[in-house]
Structure 1
Amino acid sequence: MPSQDRHIRNVLKLFDANGHRHDRYRLFSDCMELIALSISNSVDLCSRPDREVRYFEIVGRYDRPAVEMFAQVFAEITMALEAGLNDVLGHIFTELEIHNKNRGQFFTPYAVCQMMAQVTLGGADEAQALIGAKGFVRAMEPACGAGAMVIALAEVVRAAGINYQRHLHVTAVDIDSRAVHMAYIQFALLHIPAHVIVGNSLSLETREHWFTPAHILGGWSARLANQAVPAGQQTICALPVPNKQPAHLPPAAASGPGEQLTLF
């Protein structure tokens, strides 16, 4: 996708131009958090007060040229994803060479994610069967990174002739808050209904909950809650109430109403 590549190169140039004045790792992390906060604050009224404070806290660290650069990066990322579904931020993160090698933080190549998503979902008939009478399919990504696997799944769902914006809901978890911000940005710009969590999928601890515009505007909290719940299970808790978030991942993140796909 030539136009997508052009926008990605523009983002890399922006970070190169400002990297001499700021630590590149911190600059990128703050840029991702600011963009995520901007998106969240436009739709998530319950979380807005605390996140608005956090937004101005980060902005206060930078001079005007850097703040203007953040807006330019946001625009380029938006245009890159407008050109097609891809792990744009994962690619940018890798190209900037700021991934944490000591923690083994490497994002799965998007081509591999596409293959795995295709195997997971199957063909168009299988996809239609998964959706069935419930009207949608739920996906769980316990280590989402920048969201490549979920984006690939959305692409496969669309290729099967299904509108993923209406018939796919995602719960995505990562222990790294920067990765969650990256995934949230991409899911939001691609209008993927998702609940993105900063937490540990093994210990079930959670720290932050991010709900994409597609989740909030699509009424997914009510849509999930209204599904019949099998005995001993409960639906995803997806109501963004500040300071009252569950201390653990909801049991339905692993199972619950409707068909469930687990991505790795």
Structure 2
Amino acid sequence: MASPQIDVDEIVATLEQIRQRGHSAHTVFRDWVNLMLFALQDRDDPYLEIVDDYRERGDMAHPDGQRSVDLFAKAFGQLQERMAATDADVLGAVYEEYGMSSDAFGQHFTPHSVCETMAEIAGVGDESDTDDRQTVLDPACGSGRMLLVAGRKQPDALFVGQDKDPLCARMTALNCCFLNLDAYVIQGDSLTVEFQRAWQTSYSSLGGSVRELDDDEVEELHEWVTDAFENTVEAENQPSPTQGADTDSEDRTPPVATSVPSEQASLGAFEGSD
């Protein structure tokens, strides 16, 4: 069940209009997530591949505003309105609510209230006794709900989320972009330290941006995360942290520092799809 404080009925009803045209609920939700992610990255080719698939099914016979691509855009606008009103993981709530009728979903995420408590226990947002930038890591991030809660408490931190489910990783990348966070989102298994794909979201005064990393950057990110974990374990094993070995600050610097042109997460991302 969706989180009780988030009303997603309007969004679900819009997506349901598309599903009733002969698609599965999982396909509609997956395509919606991918369309938003491709649009925000200005990746026209994969975006149009999805749009063309709906066109081939006679979708253009529907009047303007009722074509599937129009309904996907409408759902995007409704998503943004609900996020602005609740400052919460609306996308994950839609996933939970819409997926109740589909065997292909089958996941329920940590309630927002529990995420709030966990962030407090972890000390997110508390003053640090060092000048180092706080890093918040969720190795099984789902839709990124924990990172969003932490992002409201400590927006200047660096956020790293990982999930082996491709759809969950994409939802987290979108959520971090919408909340305008500096983050890396990894598709891969945390237990085996496996990285398949990764996205970087970047803060700007005009709104968040998102881009997918190339293979070399994914490998660089993998090395950085692995080294950071090993350094943390070694530091925790030191008898006295204040007398440990010298720490190279460069080892704590994120590996991918490319400046991403800011594309504010807005309905404008869907313009020009006709």
Same fold (TM over 0.5): yes
Structure 1 pair 100–204 and aligned structure 2 pair: CA distance change class (3 A): farther
State the Cα deviation string for residues 112-170 of structure 1 (Å, max 9, x = none): 11111111116x6xx1226x412x2111111110011111112333xxxxxx1xx2111
Aligned 8 A contact 1:118 1:156 in 2: no
Give the whole-Å Cα distance in 2 for the aligned partners of 1:33 and 1:203: 26
Give the C-alpha shift of residue 175 in structure 1.
Answer: 0.7
State the Cα deviation string for residues 211-255 of structure 1 (Å, max 9, x = none): 11328x99xxxxxxxxxxxxxxxxxxxx96534233482314635
Query: Does 1:257 pair with 2:252?
Result: yes
State the Cα deviation string for residues 163-213 of structure 1 (Å, max 9, x = none): x1xx21111111111111111111111101111111111122222111113
Give the whole-Å Cα distance in 2 for the aligned partners of 1:103 and 1:91: 12
> What residue is the counterpart of 2:135 in the other structure?
138
Structure 1 pair 198–102 and aligned structure 2 pair: CA distance change class (3 A): same
Query: Does 1:14 pair with 2:14?
Result: yes
Structure 2: gaps (5+ residues): 61-66, 233-250, 254-274
Query: Does 1:37 pair with 2:38?
Result: yes
Q: How does 1:1-264 map to 2 (within 5 A)?
A: 5=6, 8-21=8-21, 22-41=23-42, 51-62=43-54, 63-64=59-60, 65-98=67-100, 105-121=107-123, 127-129=126-128, 132-134=130-132, 136-157=133-154, 164=155, 167-214=156-203, 242-247=214-219, 249-250=222-223, 251-252=226-227, 254=229, 255=232, 257=252
SS state of the match for residue 15, structure 1? helix
Question: RMSD between aligned alpha carbons?
Answer: 2.9
Structure 1 pair 102–73 and aligned structure 2 pair: CA distance change class (3 A): closer
SS state of the match for residue 139, structure 1? strand
More RCO (CA 8 Å, sep 6+): 1
Give the whole-Å Cα distance in 2 for the aligned partners of 1:77 and 1:104: 21
SS state of the match for residue 217, structure 2? coil
Structure 1 pair 29–99 and aligned structure 2 pair: CA distance change class (3 A): farther
Give the C-alpha shift of residue 58 in structure 1.
Answer: 1.6
Give the C-alpha shift of residue 9 in structure 1.
Answer: 2.3
Counterpart AA for 1:37: F
Give % identity.
26
Give the whole-Å Cα distance in 2 for the aligned partners of 1:213 and 1:69: 28
Larger Rg: 2
Structure 1 runs of 4+ aligned residues shifted over 2 Å read 97-106, 239-250, 252-258
Aligned residues: 212
Give the whole-Å Cα distance in 1 for the aligned partners of 2:179 and 2:161: 15
Structure 1 pair 31–253 and aligned structure 2 pair: CA distance change class (3 A): farther
Aligned 8 A contact 1:59 1:67 in 2: yes
Give the whole-Å Cα distance in 1 for the aligned partners of 2:26 and 2:107: 14
Give me the TM-score of the superposition, normalised by structure 2. 0.68
SS state of the match for residue 122, structure 2? helix
Structure 1: gaps (5+ residues): 42-50, 158-163, 219-238, 259-264
